[in-house]
Amino acid sequence: MKIDTIEVADVQSIAGNMRNGGYRLVVVTCTPADEGYYITYSFEKETDLRHYRITVSEGTKIPSIGSSYGGAFVYENEIHDLYGFTFEGMSLDFGGTFIKTSVPYPFKKKEQPAPTVTVVKEAKE
């Protein structure tokens, strides 16, 4: 699995080149890594699958590829809601309500893993 590493500033131009080259957007994947997070963009044209990866730290603002691929909003909103990254210029921005979670950004890296059982406190009368 070959992955090309790119800079955050190059995301939109790479997506534009892929679109002009006739590639479809397959998926955008966010992965926690030692040095922050990887966000991997995967494109395909006639079984030629290409992956481009940026490495980002928490709080980084990432340019949206929505101008090239209108369907990217599902991946970008999902990554925002699960990991907390902001994508600038999304074609459809749900403002954090695309996936409704009981805790904010549940897939964000934590010191300790999330508990498997949620303790519900009794309501005060």
Partner 1 sequence: MTGRQTIIPFGPQHPVLPEPIHLDLVVEDEHVVSAIPSIGYVHRGLESLVDRREYQDFVFLAERICGICSFTHSSTFCQGIEGMMGVQVPPRATYLRTMWGEYSRLHSHLLWLGLFADSLGFESLFYQAWKIRESILDEMEATTGGRVIQGVCKVGGVRRDVANSFLSEMDDRLDEIEDEMKDLTNVFLNDYTLTKRLIGKGVLSKEDAYYLGAVGPTARGSGLDQDTRSTGYLAYGDIGFKPVVEKGGDGYARCAVRCRELFQSVEIIRRVITDMPDGEVFTAVKGNPDGEYFSRSEQPRGEVIHYLKGNGTKNLAQFRVRTPTLTNIPPLVSILAGCELADVPQIVLTIDPCIGCMER
The residues that touch partner 1, with contacts defined as CB under 8 A, are 1, 3, 19, 24-27, 29-32, 40, 42, 47, 49, 51, 69-71, 73-74, 78, 81, 92, 94, 97-101, 106-107, 113-114, 116
Instruction: Classify residue 37 as exposed, middle or buried by CB count within 10 Å of its CB (0-12, 13-18, 19+).
Output: buried
Nearer to partner 1 among residue 100 and residue 121 (C-beta): 100
Nearer to partner 1 among residue 59 and residue 95 (C-beta): 95
Rounded Cα–Cα distance for residues 53 and 28 (Å): 10
Least Å distance, CB 78 to partner 1, is 8
Least Å distance, CB 107 to partner 1, is 6
Rounded Cα–Cα distance for residues 52 and 109 (Å): 22
**Whole-number Cα distances in Å, 69 to 33, 45, 60, 80:** 26, 14, 21, 17
Least Å distance, CB 15 to partner 1, is 11
